[in-house]
Structures are given as C-alpha cells and as structure tokens.
Amino acid sequence: MSNKVIAGFSDSRHSILLAKNIAKLTKSPVNLILAKKFPDGETNLRFSSDVKGKTVYLMRPLKTADEDINNNMMKAIFAAQTAKDLGAARVILVAPYLAYMRQDKRFRPYEAISSRIMANLFSRCFDELITFDPHLHRYRSLSEIFTIKTKRLSADALLAEYIKKNYKNPIILGPDEESYQWARDIAKMIGCPVDVLKKHRYTAESVKIKIKDRLNLKNKSVAIVDDMVSTGHTMIEVIKDAKKLGARKVYCVCVHGLFVENAYEKMKRAGAREVVSTNTIANNAAKIDISKLLAESIIKE
C-alpha cells in the first residue's frame, strides 16, 4: 500500500480540488485537514485521519481568493508541525505558486529580503517543497535560499502546447530580460520567432516597457508570455506597444495568474484578445491544467 497521503485544506476550494485530483492521479488516499477559524481569528486544524508513518503532501495554494498569503503560509506551517507531531515520516509542501520570490533583494534601505525569510522558515518546517516556475531572477536556483530538497516543476511545455494549439503563427514576446528563460524555451518548443523586451519598474504599479521599433509586428499574432501576472501593468504596457506596432491579435499567457486589482479586466480592456493562465492559482482564466505534471512528479518520488 502507498505510504503517500494527499492532504487538502477544508478552508480552500482550490486546495480540496487539487488534493482530490492528485490523489486520484497518484492512487493515494486523501486526508482532509479541517481548518477552522475561531472568533478571535486564531486557526484550528485537525487531520481527518491518521498520518503516522506516512509521507504527507500538503496541497496548499498560497494565493487564494478569500485568505491572504501570510495566513495560508501559517496554516501550511501549522499543518506540517501537526503532522510531525502525529508521527508523519515526511511532510512535503506542494505550493504550486511560491509567494515572496520577487522580493529577492533589499530594494530600499532597511527593507526585509522576504524571499530569504520565507525560504528560511519553510526549510525549518517542511522536509521538501514542490512548486511550479518559481520567480528566479536574482537567484539562480532555489537551493540558494532553501536548505531542504526543492522540486522546481515547469509549466513551459503546457504553455507552448496551448499556444501552438490555439494561436496561428504566433510571435512570442517576453516583457523583460528575466522572461528570456521561458520565452525562448516556449518559442523553441513551438518553433516560432521570439523577442524579449526591456522593462523598467518604477514602483509595484508603474512599469515602462521599451519595445524595439524594428520589431515587425504588422498584422501578426503576438503571444506575450510571462511567469506571472500580478497587477497586469507589465502585460498592459506590452499589449499597448504591440498594438501600436500593428499587431492584429495580442494574447497574454502566464503560469501564475494572480490578477490583483482587476488585472484581468484591465488587460482585456487594453486589447488582449485572450488572457490565459495555468491553475497554479484558481481564477477564471486558468485553462491550462498542471495536475498531471504534478501527479507524475509525485508518483516518481
């Protein structure tokens, strides 16, 4: 019998769905963690069955609609400690979107480098971390900040497959230098042209993209790909510039669709014909499913 248990949290529909799906694909049992909030805001967690001697996979999306990231992190930590306390052999955090990775340096004096703090905390609380396309900009790999085993899965092939199937003769655009990693890989898989632009970010809400005038986008279909969309400002700048250069259809495709402050609607208004993401974060644009990839990786463990 499998030693693996797939745990979902009752407070998150996304967590429950993911747990059920992964449990089915990996042929492992589900253990629902009953997550309750006391009137004063304190959290109370309870596993619904025994985890003694098991390898527990905690399906904990960190960005959810009704709870903030910090609370979701806290619940993952509480659940891990409880599982250990109940005799679990190993506790693995499955966070399809890894929050805090963009805070990878002290941008202003006296500021916290939150990615390091998160990694430090997680390394103490879990035995392993599985995630998708973490934002690696100033770090080359997760092992620079984590001391536990980390598994970095990539949705690039799924994005490429979606673009190839749904958009005719696309040009792939990456909005900034960081995006070259995934933009080039995706274009290579599709067998189509690619260009990477230059971005300057002034604040979280203000970015300027430098598009090259020599870029011939006249009457072309453009697929802008990025690892994540948060406020959507990055994508919106590229959409506007691509349209100015005559692009006929502009599509936006990303791995992690955070879509904060009505980013999805704003991108559509700016002229995006379609906005698509994977389901590492639950949202209405999540048409690309990562479950199979995740399950395959868990089966191999």
For ligand R5P, the binding residues (CB under 6 A) are: 102, 175-176, 178-179, 207, 226-234
Burial class (CB in 10 A: 0-12, 13-18, 19+), 245: middle
Q: Which among 226, 219, 234, 257 has a CA at the least distance from the CA of 163?
A: 226
Q: Pick the closer one to ligand R5P by CB: 119 or 263.
A: 263
Q: Pick the closer one to ligand R5P by CB: 183 or 298.
A: 183
Q: Pick the closer one to ligand R5P by CB: 11 or 226.
A: 226
| Shortest CB 267 distance to ligand R5P, Å | 9
Per-residue 3-state assignment (H helix, E strand, C coil) for 169-203: CEEEEECCHHHHHHHHHHHHHHCCCEEECEEEECC
CB 298 within 8 A of CB 22: yes
Tell me how far apart the alpha carbons of residues 234 and 232 are, in angstroms, rounded to a whole number: 5
Q: Pick the closer one to ligand R5P by CB: 69 or 299.
A: 69
| Shortest CB 254 distance to ligand R5P, Å | 8
Q: Pick the closer one to ligand R5P by CB: 228 or 253.
A: 228
State both tokens at 160: 């490429």
CB 258 within 8 A of CB 234: no
Q: Which among 286, 272, 230, 275 has a CA at the least distance from the CA of 253?
A: 275
| Shortest CB 116 distance to ligand R5P, Å | 18
| Shortest CB 205 distance to ligand R5P, Å | 7
| Shortest CB 233 distance to ligand R5P, Å | 4
| Shortest CB 212 distance to ligand R5P, Å | 18
**Could you write out the DSSP letters of every residue in 216-274?**
--TT-EEEEEEEEESSSHHHHHHHHHHHHTT-SEEEEEEEEE---TTHHHHHHHTT-SE
Q: Pick the closer one to ligand R5P by CB: 8 or 134.
A: 134
